[in-house]
Structure 1
Amino acid sequence: MASNIPIFLSSLLLLLLSSTLTVHAEDPYRFFTWNITFGDIYPLGVKQQGILINGQFPGPQIESVTNDNLIINVFNSLTEPFLLSWNGIQQRRNSWQDGVYGTNCPIPPGKNFTYILQVKDQIGSYFYFPSLGMHKAAGGFGGFKILSRPMIPVPFPPPAADYTLLAGDWFKANHTDLKAILDGGNDLPFPDGVLINGRGPNGNSFTVEQGKTYRFRISNVGLTTCLNIRFQGHTMKLVEVEGSHTLQSTYSSLDVCMGQSYSVLVTADQPPLDYYIAVSTRFTNPVLTSTAILHYSNSAGSPVGSPPGGPTVEIDFSLNQARSIRWNLTASGPRPNPQGSYHYGLINTTRTIRLANSAPVINGKQRYAVNSVSFIPADTPLKIADYYQISGVFSVGSIPDNPTFGGGYLQTSVMGANYRDYIEIVFENYETTVQSWHIDGYSFFTVGMDGGQWSSESRKGYNLRDTVNRCTVQVYPKSWTAIYMPLDNVGMWNVRSENWARQYLGQQFYLRVYTPSTSLRDEYPIPKNALLCGRAAGRRTRPL
């Protein structure tokens, strides 16, 4: 790797000097160099092939301040292509950096790619992860923290420390074996355990001092299950959800579904002992639980008793909890104006899109679908094909706006949408499992969720004042969730299930947010360091 560093530095200097990416000179730069390798890991006591970043599992945490420019040079030392994506990081006007196969060519083995991200007007708790195939089942993920600038107040006193807790279900099988199961037309087996920061039960300890308050940034980085979090003998005060400051409600347990991130404050107000932090799978039978230790610095002993039990499998508790999460309208956001100054509920929507998940068997194999369409990747990333106007890769409008309830079929599905429209999306779940949906490049207003079938009458129950603004939302069994979303970010954006087996087998599509304008105010041009593959191989990256 050392021989590549001079080439990297000269290439990076040229890139920064010649880039057409518009940035403000006063915004700081932060530089990262990451080497992606396979390595042996033993998170559940069994040797596995893990994906390491600079030798770490999980990968290093990104710490930044809103508006920072992040230069992340990724060397792929794996034996297969690789991509990183940024869960919840909205690349404004710049889907070229999204890091999913629909927008980027994978980094070939032995090569590198430099991501240029600006965390523009964002704060909060997020994470990054490998987006190709089943790489997420091998690691390669890490925390992504964006702090407010000093001049913008946060609606709670500074915590004594800021901890990241990356939790998720885990399989003992290698990611290649899991991929083979899915490719063979079968669903994944039940997970083998739950990891907290890459380790099994009691593998992590978070030290606190009596009387002080601590921030825990909790992300569900798992593959298939929602999780429930409890701090033995302590309560959690929710303060932030995926970039939005919330009303500071107190919870004894908190549900976090796949792909979601929350920040809670925990005060060390109990006798000086050690206490369990319990993380359990939600809505599963059996229930898997893992633990970490909340360690008082003056602890007089080990945790007493068993880890605290979680909620039952019924969904009412979780549904009511999700609806209780509200936006703090008096708190500042990443900009000096109050978050609530955007009156989302007073804007008329221009289009309603209803999305129903399903589990069809196609050609004798298990697949998953959206509005009966099961997504298959094209031979060329869709964003690149769109930029070079390469025909035959995809067709805009290849997924309907409403459920068809017909048989499933395979298609490279792309939905067209107009820049600056304001839309309503209703996620409809007719299955008996919890769904979790994420939209790259956007945050949205979760205006309603309930059991049963959605209809226009359901709008009467929408929260049009202070619902939370986020990027990942759950849909309960036999239920629906509705969101409002301003289409203010031009690009080709992935709409996907965060259940990774379902995503891999087709429960995703791309939303092409289009404008005929070629102004840099609307979208940045293709980066000069963009990797080109498929039918775009050998073309120039400069605009023609």
Structure 2
Amino acid sequence: MRLMGEYRSTLLCSLIGIVVVLAFVLNGANGDNPYRYYTWKITYGDIYPMGVKQQGILINGQFPGPHIDCVTNDNLIISVYNYLDEPFLLSWNGIQQRKNSWQDGVQGTTCPIPPGKNFTYMLQAKDQIGSYFYFPSLGMQKAFGGFGSIKVYSRPQIPVPFPRPDGDFIVLTGDWFKMQSHKQLRYILDSGRSLPAPDGLLINGRGWNGYTFTVVPGRTYRFRISNVGIATSLNVRIQGHAMKLVEVEGSHTIQNFYSSIDVHPGQSFSVLVTANQAPKDYYFVVSSRFNNHVLNTTAVLHYSNSWTKVSGPVPGGPTSDIVSSLYQARSIRRNLTASAPRPNPQGSYHYGLVKPQRTIVLANSAQYINGKQRYAVNRVSYIQPDTPLKLADYFKIGGVYNLGSISDYPTSGNAYLSTAVMHADYRGFYEIVFQNWENTFQTWHIDGNSFFVVGMDGGQWTPGSRLKYNLRDAVYRCTTQVYPKSWTAIYIALDNMGMWNIRSETWERQYLGQQFYMRVYAPSNSMRDEYPIPKNALLCGRASGRHTRPL
């Protein structure tokens, strides 16, 4: 009987897999590219990253979660089973989901997975390469696990602008709290207060010297570094070793050497490091930036023939100095001679010769609304609707949001609560300026799109600031920083139709309203422009009980 039960279970899983693949193909995925299948079980589990027992969010019992390794255009079938006592939702930081915001994994596009239920994501790393990560997007779950790395390799026929490394290491680093659960962080924010300072930093889920990278003398290794934390900018350095920057969120870069590199919340970098020093162990150091109280943590770079453990003081690095960070950010340029995911150079798209058809200036602010701490963009503090915006669009449900409920420019007055959605034209080419009038560091992310970071400087942006733009080799990425009382300007080609989240990567600010959605739209209703709603789409709110296809 037991064997018969196992046979039935295996047969059922096979049938489900066939149905999922058929649905994926029918929804417009490229059937000519390989499929990779993942089954993830989301659970709570006891973790001790900083020496105290905490309730972490695990994927298949792992903290951090499993790595995703794939090749450009691979189809990813990820079945997620939620065994938590609360809803759960995964988002894909930097994986653009071409024509498919249904799979974006944020509340504006996707219903959360209820406790005891499952959902199968059907993704494609369409025309992308590089280093990214996934994370839980609901509440403050991101602060206690559920995140992992995504590596998208170039196809064999596409040349990469550096020799193949001898190893490829993941570095997931970020700030951490010693509280027992992410629910405590959420309770603090819901009560109208700000979060306390984080207690420390982690590297791959571990604290001080808790993780080891083993290298062979004379060989070169790729380190893919992602800041998966919720608030803190970080500085990364390796004792006695130079780091050659080669990739930023899918863009091959000019290969400058750095003794340390800043990685802000939500950002990812790839560096090459050659094991060319004396055979012993070295500190791999991560420190906080722009904080009054500097946090440090370390891993170990271990030479395979070393018998000497790390000892002595940790190498110092920059802490609160903004000028050096801004100078470094400006030095990161795109390698125009390197190939893109297709066999053409990265510089073949001459963004500097295209005149933006619209300018949007977004100003962040911190204000109290109804006696509680809130954060806003152009005076609007975002509140989650009872139905995902994308479903409201599909089923034509009125009253969920008002298109145009956030202005293109900041205006004076007090902040107010609203489900902010901005209209944008499909295939539009826009200039967006992030204006930061606060004395705090900001990081911004745009889902579903990458953009050219054309300029950043102190003070207030004006049309005359365009004279400082880099219109030749600006880096192309999905997350950018804005320094205190400064501005950052981007150019973006909106060639990905859908409902896309624009948000602060400081998670307290995102949770309390510093985000909105951009509805990239065209009148056409064609699979050429956007895939239809998946047949397995979860329906919630005012969309509950409806059908994903006409009867």
TM-score, normalised by the number of residues in structure 1: 0.99
- The answer on whether the counterparts of 1:490 and 1:523 sit within 8 Å (CA) in structure 2 is yes
Q: 2:114 aligns with which of 104, 108, 111?
A: 108
**How far apart in 2 are the matches of 1:239 and 1:97?**
29
Structure 2 residue 262 is matched with structure 1 residue 240: no
Structure 2 SS opposite 1:101: coil
In structure 2, the residue matched to 1:307 is 314
Structure 1 SS opposite 2:110: coil
- Tell me which moved more, 153-162 or 23-32: 23-32
After superposition, the Cα gap between the structure-2 partners of 1:40 and 1:345, relative to the gap in structure 1 and judged at 3 Å, is same
Flag as ranges the 4+ runs of structure 1 deviating above 3 A: 1-9
In structure 2, the residue matched to 1:11 is 16
Q: 2:372 aligns with which of 365, 372, 383?
A: 365
**How far apart in 2 are the matches of 1:323 and 1:6?**
56
In structure 2, the residue matched to 1:541 is 548
Structure 2 residue 139 is matched with structure 1 residue 133: yes
After superposition, the Cα gap between the structure-2 partners of 1:530 and 1:274, relative to the gap in structure 1 and judged at 3 Å, is same
In structure 1, the residue matched to 2:504 is 497
User: What CA deviation, in whole Å up to 9, does each residue of 1:53-107 have, x standing for no partner?
Assistant: 0000000000000010000000001111000000000000000000000000000
In structure 2, the residue matched to 1:68 is 74
- The answer on whether the counterparts of 2:288 and 2:319 sit within 8 Å (CA) in structure 1 is no
Letter paired with 2:173? A
In the TM superposition, 1:88-103 aligns within 5 A as 88-103=94-109
- The answer on whether the counterparts of 1:357 and 1:369 sit within 8 Å (CA) in structure 2 is yes
**How far apart in 1 are the matches of 2:205 and 2:101?**
30
- The answer on whether the counterparts of 1:164 and 1:216 sit within 8 Å (CA) in structure 2 is yes
Report the count of equivalent residues.
Answer: 544
In the TM superposition, 1:175-214 aligns within 5 A as 175-214=182-221
**How far apart in 2 are the matches of 1:382 and 1:433?**
30
Q: Pairwise CA RMSD of aligned residues? A: 1.3
In structure 1, the residue matched to 2:332 is 325
- The answer on whether the counterparts of 1:422 and 1:487 sit within 8 Å (CA) in structure 2 is yes
Tell me how far 1:304 sits from its aligned partner: 4.0
Structure 2 residue 271 is matched with structure 1 residue 270: no
- The answer on whether the counterparts of 2:450 and 2:477 sit within 8 Å (CA) in structure 1 is yes
**How far apart in 2 are the matches of 1:244 and 1:253?**
20
- The answer on whether the counterparts of 2:291 and 2:319 sit within 8 Å (CA) in structure 1 is no
- The answer on whether the counterparts of 1:283 and 1:314 sit within 8 Å (CA) in structure 2 is yes
**How far apart in 1 are the matches of 2:550 and 2:384?**
25
- Unaligned 5+ segments in structure 2 are none
Tell me how far 1:248 sits from its aligned partner: 0.1
In structure 2, the residue matched to 1:144 is 150
In structure 2, the residue matched to 1:222 is 229
Structure 2 SS opposite 1:33: strand
Letter paired with 1:231? I
Tell me how far 1:406 sits from its aligned partner: 1.7
- Unaligned 5+ segments in structure 1 are none
In structure 2, the residue matched to 1:158 is 164
After superposition, the Cα gap between the structure-2 partners of 1:278 and 1:306, relative to the gap in structure 1 and judged at 3 Å, is same
After superposition, the Cα gap between the structure-2 partners of 1:356 and 1:5, relative to the gap in structure 1 and judged at 3 Å, is farther
User: What CA deviation, in whole Å up to 9, does each residue of 1:310-333 have, x standing for no partner?
Assistant: 113120000010010000000001
In structure 2, the residue matched to 1:33 is 39
In structure 2, the residue matched to 1:377 is 384
After superposition, the Cα gap between the structure-2 partners of 1:437 and 1:460, relative to the gap in structure 1 and judged at 3 Å, is same
Structure 2 residue 56 is matched with structure 1 residue 56: no
Tell me how far 1:7 sits from its aligned partner: 4.6
Letter paired with 2:56? G
**How far apart in 1 are the matches of 2:119 and 2:428?**
33
**How far apart in 2 are the matches of 1:537 and 1:377?**
17
Q: 1:437 aligns with which of 444, 452, 455?
A: 444
Structure 2 SS opposite 1:367: strand
In structure 1, the residue matched to 2:288 is 281
- The answer on whether the counterparts of 1:526 and 1:543 sit within 8 Å (CA) in structure 2 is no
**How far apart in 2 are the matches of 1:74 and 1:220?**
24
Q: 2:513 aligns with which of 485, 500, 506?
A: 506
Q: 2:407 aligns with which of 390, 393, 400?
A: 400
**How far apart in 2 are the matches of 1:216 and 1:302?**
21
**How far apart in 2 are the matches of 1:421 and 1:531?**
30
In structure 1, the residue matched to 2:50 is 44
In structure 1, the residue matched to 2:486 is 479
**How far apart in 2 are the matches of 1:18 and 1:25?**
11
Letter paired with 1:87? N
